[in-house]
Amino acid sequence: MDNDSLPEIIVSFTDNFDKILNPHQRQILEDTKRVKEQLEQMERQRGIGSPADLYVRKNEEQFDPDEMDDLDSFYHTTKSLLVLFQIMGVMPIMRSAKGTDEPRTTFSWTSKAFLWAYLIYGIETIIVFAVARARFIKFLSSSDKKFDEVIYNIIFLSLLVPHFLLPLASWRRGVEVAKFKNMWTTFQVRYLKVTKEKIEFPILSPITWFLCFFSWGCSIFIVISQFSLQPDFPISQTFAYFHILAMLNGFCSLWFINCTAFGLASKSLQKHVKETLKHEKPSKKLAEFRTLWVDLSHMMQQLGKAYSNMYGIYCLIIFFTTIIASYGSLSEIIDHGVTFKELGLFIIVVYCMTLLFIICNEAHHASRRVGLRFQETLLNVNLTKVDVSTQREIEMFLVAIDKNPPTMNLDGYANINRELITSNVSFMATYLVVLMQFKLTLLRQSARKALIENIDDAAINNGQV
């Protein structure tokens, strides 16, 4: 039989027909409706109506470069921090010129920004190496090689380590960092197309400018305080620490800015979801919002992946320096009482723990805003007042949140959240107790040795008498 002679089958999806179906039949009917709607949408957009095309991955959307530049509010409001990193040679990524088809943010080992980074890093390396060598030689030539002196010298040598690890921890991940920046750019364009509203971050501009100056101001304060309080910290060695502490402060500022931006984007998207749920049959719009939310969650995961090496080493340096500085301050108090030297070490401890707290606390708040609050919004929807298609879309939204948790993960090494603070504090306390037990053992041995010497001297004096 010829295909043209086959009768056309028309399925009418009416509310009256829906009422006589049992729950299982009604679910099948809703699934059929969804497939039909998708086919119609594909036919309108691309002129394709084959069911097989539902399972074909769509090509990546192509946006106008000039439009992407204009809509990239995140880049424009946080540009000052990116420029600061370029000047310091910390992360030499570049912004593509307007009108070019290249990704908006690029990374190349031969770019102008990278050539400048090579120069700056080379000059800084000469200074840092000279200071590290001077401290090491002074320690070896010192006649006093007590355990406390070893610990004291390790504190300031450990603060020099991030500079030597910069190429491995930061530069090597430049491609992933550029990818993260481009994900932000694409997200803002898609946000406009879905919500018909441009996302703005006006509060980030003054915060970013303040943090740029504060990063260097805090670095200068910490180094000058150590020069003033530590007896063996000459002013010539301070120049090796300014840019290192400013770099650590800058990365902490970068983390704060990104976490704040995630929270603002999530809050804006959540507002549109609430407004959409007030309308009748909002399932199609919810599907678009779900795609936006998944993009936002992937960006949070990409942030941890892009900076995994840097923040991983960051946390290790903080952990190690805090333990050593805490022990050094307590040991000096036991031996000599409270002096300016202990105050300097205490400042280092407070500084390191503040950095760790900011990173972990901001990651916790960002994950909570993007994940938990969205779940609460969707779970508070009265499902009896929405159609079945919307119910299913809400379920799929909740499943997407569960399967794509918005967590800050350092490429599988660790999750950045408040639990990291408590675990670090517990480990620090454990190692500090071990070091203090070792210190007390040394004191007991010194006291026993002094007592024996006093007894021998007394016996010799009595024999002479």
Instruction: Write down how long the chain is.
Output: 465
Q: Which of 12-26, 326-340, 356-370 has the highest mean pLDDT?
A: 356-370
Q: Are β-strands 105-106 and 94-95 bridged in parallel, bridged antiparallel, or unpaired?
A: antiparallel
CA torsion 60-62-68-74 (nearest 10°) is: 0
CB half-sphere exposure, 276, CA atoms < 13 A: 24
In whole angstroms, what is the distance from residue 333 CA to residue 48 CA? Answer: 79
In whole angstroms, what is the distance from residue 326 CA to residue 305 CA? Answer: 31
User: By percentage, how much of the chain surpasses pLDDT 90?
Assistant: 27
Residue ranges covered by each domain of the chain: 3-55, 66-450
In whole angstroms, what is the distance from residue 71 CA to residue 48 CA? Answer: 31
| Residue 5: per-residue pLDDT | 47
Instruction: Please report, as a single letter, which amino acid is at residue 58.
Output: K
In whole angstroms, what is the distance from residue 391 CA to residue 409 CA? Answer: 31
CA-wise closest residue to 264 among 126, 370, 137, 375: 370
Q: Give the model confidence (pLDDT) of 74-89 as tens digits.
A: 888 999 999 999 999 9
Across the strands, what pairs with 95? Answer: 105
| Residue 67: per-residue pLDDT | 73
Do 302 and 176 contact (CB within 8 A), yes or no?
Answer: yes
Q: Give the model confidence (pLDDT) of 226-246 as tens digits.
A: 888 888 788 888 899 999 999
Angle between helices 242-277 and 340-367 (to 10 degrees): 20
Global pTM reads 0.82
DSSP string, 226-286: HHHH-TT--GGGGGGTHHHHHHHHHHHHHHHHHHHHHHHHHHHHHHHHHHHHTSSS-HHHH
> Mean pLDDT across the stretch 434-461?
74
Q: Give the model confidence (pLDDT) of 197-219 as tens digits.
A: 888 888 999 999 999 999 999 99
Q: What is the pLDDT confidence band of residue 48, given thresholds at 50, 70 and 90?
A: very low
Contacts for 348 with CB less than 8 Å, ≥ 6 apart: 155, 222, 226, 321, 322, 325
Q: Average pLDDT over the chain, rounded to whole?
A: 82
In whole angstroms, what is the distance from residue 330 CA to residue 342 CA? Answer: 8
| Residue 279: per-residue pLDDT | 84
| Residue 236: per-residue pLDDT | 87
Q: Give the model confidence (pLDDT) of 129-158 as tens digits.
A: 999 998 888 777 766 656 667 777 788 888
Instruction: Please report, as a single letter, which amino acid is at residue 398.
Output: L
| Residue 2: per-residue pLDDT | 47
Ramachandran region of residue 174, left (φ > 0), alpha (ψ -120 to 50) or beta? alpha
Residue 28 has pLDDT above 80, yes or no: no
Q: Give the model confidence (pLDDT) of 302-333 as tens digits.
A: 998 899 888 888 888 888 888 888 888 888 78
Do 131 and 237 contact (CB within 8 A), yes or no?
Answer: yes
CA-wise closest residue to 156 among 315, 314, 344, 353: 344
Q: What is the pLDDT confidence band of residue 6, given thresholds at 50, 70 and 90?
A: very low
102: helix, coil or strand? coil
| Residue 462: per-residue pLDDT | 67
Neighbours of 152 (CB within 10 A): 21
| Residue 13: per-residue pLDDT | 47
| Residue 413: per-residue pLDDT | 83
**Measured distance between the N- and C-terminal CA atoms of the chain, rounded to whole angstroms:** 135
Residue 358 has pLDDT above 90, yes or no: yes
| Residue 116: per-residue pLDDT | 93
58: helix, coil or strand? coil
| Residue 207: per-residue pLDDT | 94
Q: What is the pLDDT confidence band of residue 45, given thresholds at 50, 70 and 90?
A: low
